[in-house]
Amino acid sequence: MNLTGTGVLLRHHLRRDRWMLLAWAAAVTALYYSQAVSVAGLYRSQADFDSAAATMRHNTAFVAMAGPARALNTIGGQVTWQAAAFGAILAGLMSMFLIGRHTRVEEEKGRDELVRAGVVGRHAPMTAALLVAMIGNLVLGVGVSASLLSWPLAAADSIALGVGLTLCGWLLSGTALIAVQLASSARSAYGIAGLVIGAAYVLRAVGDVGNGALAWLSPIGWYQAMHAFSGLRWWPAVLLLAGAAVSTTTSYLVFERRDIGAGVLAARPGPSRGRLHGPLDLAWRLQRGSVLGWSAGLLLIGLAYGSMGHDVGSLIGSSRSTRDLFVQGGGSLVAGFYATAVAMVALLCVGFATSSALRPRGEEVDGRVESLLATGLHRSRWLFAHVMVTVTGTVLALGLGGLGLGLGFAMVTGDARNVGPWLLASLSYVAPVLVLAAVARLLYGLVPRLTSLAWLALAFCVVVMLFAEAFRFPQWVRDLSPFDQLARVPEEDFRRWPFVALLVCAALLSGAGQLAFRRRDLR
């Protein structure tokens, strides 16, 4: 192997990535630590905790989502159960992006060529990328272990939870490094690496629900098989380490079989003729992935919330503040909980709606609009096509989120009466979501430099929803959030006029943004 220059490249990468690495470490550490904080605050007595743990253990959907239910009536057991699978996914995603960023993306942008023309060994770029990912995962592991030790939780188990995470990340770094050798573009490399992470998660989910055998095919399963805080055993860590060694070695072997700039799998050619007929076709094609991704995500989240069934009472615990959050209208706990769940799905959907409303901005900044508008396409029609996609995507995503809630509830309880009403409840949030999208549209039309303020509007609504009750916000502040205007279905009955008023408001704001766009200079 020729590794000349690896050190220089590594220092360069670490310099470029230092804030990103810290952000990943902070996020993953927070994922683990916050479980300890929330569990500790949730239950007033060990009896409460025991009964909640029993409920969770028997909920198949939870087991599928999180992992094998072990020692759920302890803080350490809860942290392991709730955080390990997702922590491993995050470590895998971080590794994937770090590896892709320093290998395939560099090759795609042509910077790799520049580097390789220098005194740099053949294997230096990929080795430097691998080392960055390994260091990143090490930082994650240290962060997790240190934060749990500081709680304080049992030392050996805290350390094991961090070590397992690091090793799992190393293994997935190796598979990501294979993926970038196989694919010839960063996008498809991420596709392959993401598929591996997804498969690892699904295998362990199916295994944990069934007899456990399939979980042994998944690195995430190996990580959870270390049984931190519930009879710790170290030998599955050896599996992870061996897996990391095998995947990394394989990636170097695969690397030998390809040219720089190409992948082992040749890039699939696309159609030589186009079927896109107009601005709407184009806008849909550009936003299709985002619309379908968000819709699937909201459906899954809906299913997850819905599968809590009637057990919400014992699951959310007995602490005052949690109950305040979920039962704002003073109705029954279950109705209140699902009213809040619908609102939270809608709040997440604002993420889609705002990014979709700002998509034209990205097209403009990247310089892809001038060619389009130099044809017979009127600029207002171009923008309106994107508006249509935003509106359609919002309806679809909210609909699927609401459907997921109802279906999840029906699957667990066998009671399907809520499917229709909760779908409608979720759809009623089309109005406030579109108001926020329209704010983004208006910013884009008037002052495109300040479009990021649109995300501040979302942050404001989140703060009002989560904290207005607890911190007794004055009414006029709460009224500023379009979410607070709407009836809390299913806890309250649907009220028509706030819904219509919000829709009109969205239409006016969006229309004003589109008019302003017609009058301004293009970048």
Partner 1 sequence: MDNVIGIAGLVKRFGSTTALDGLDLTVRRGEVHGFLGPNGAGKSTAIRVLLGLLHADAGVVRLFGGDPWRDAAALHRRLAYVPGDVNLWPNLTGGEVIDLLGRLRGGLDEVRRRRLVADFELDATKKGRSYSKGNRQKVALVAALASDVDLLVLDEPTSGLDPLMEAVFQRHVEQFRDTGGTVLLSSHVLAEVEQLCDRVSIVRAGRCVESGSLADLRHLTRTSVEAELVRPVDGLDSLAGVHDLDQDGRRVHFQVDSDELDAAIAALSRCGIRALTCAPPTLEELFLRHYGDEAPQGEPVPA
Comparison of 38 and 185: residue with beta carbon closer to partner 1: 185
Comparison of 258 and 379: residue with beta carbon closer to partner 1: 379
Residues in contact with 190: Cβ distance below 8 Å, sequence separation at least 6, in sequence order: 96, 97, 100, 179
CA distance linking residue 349 with residue 488, whole number of Å: 17
E strands, 144-253, in order: none
**CB of residue 240 vs partner 1: minimum separation in angstroms?**
35
Radius of gyration of the chain (CA): 25
Q: Which residue matches tokens 């095919």?
A: 217
**CB of residue 280 vs partner 1: minimum separation in angstroms?**
12
Residues in contact with 428: Cβ distance below 8 Å, sequence separation at least 6, in sequence order: 486, 487, 489, 494, 499
**CB of residue 191 vs partner 1: minimum separation in angstroms?**
12
Residue type, position 267, single letter: A
Q: Which residue blocks in 307-358 are alpha helix, DSSP H?
A: 312-315, 320-326, 333-357
**CB of residue 368 vs partner 1: minimum separation in angstroms?**
5
Comparison of 281 and 324: residue with beta carbon closer to partner 1: 281
Residues near partner 1 (CB under 8 A) = 108, 184-185, 187, 267, 269-279, 281-282, 285-286, 366-368, 370-379, 381, 519-522
Q: State the DSSP code for 468.
A: T
Q: Would the CA dihedral through 505, 508, 514, 515 be positive or negative?
A: negative
Comparison of 86 and 444: residue with beta carbon closer to partner 1: 444
CA distance linking residue 285 with residue 276, whole number of Å: 8
**CB of residue 389 vs partner 1: minimum separation in angstroms?**
15
CA distance linking residue 398 with residue 416, whole number of Å: 19
How many H-runs (helices) and E-runs (strands) does the chain carry?
Answer: 23, 0
**CB of residue 53 vs partner 1: minimum separation in angstroms?**
47
Q: Which residue blocks in 447-495 are alpha helix, DSSP H?
A: 453-467, 475-479
Residue type, position 83, single letter: A
Measure CA of the first residue to CA of the last residue in the chain; give whole Å. 48
Comparison of 370 and 415: residue with beta carbon closer to partner 1: 370
Comparison of 16 and 381: residue with beta carbon closer to partner 1: 381
Comparison of 233 and 381: residue with beta carbon closer to partner 1: 381
**CB of residue 523 vs partner 1: minimum separation in angstroms?**
9
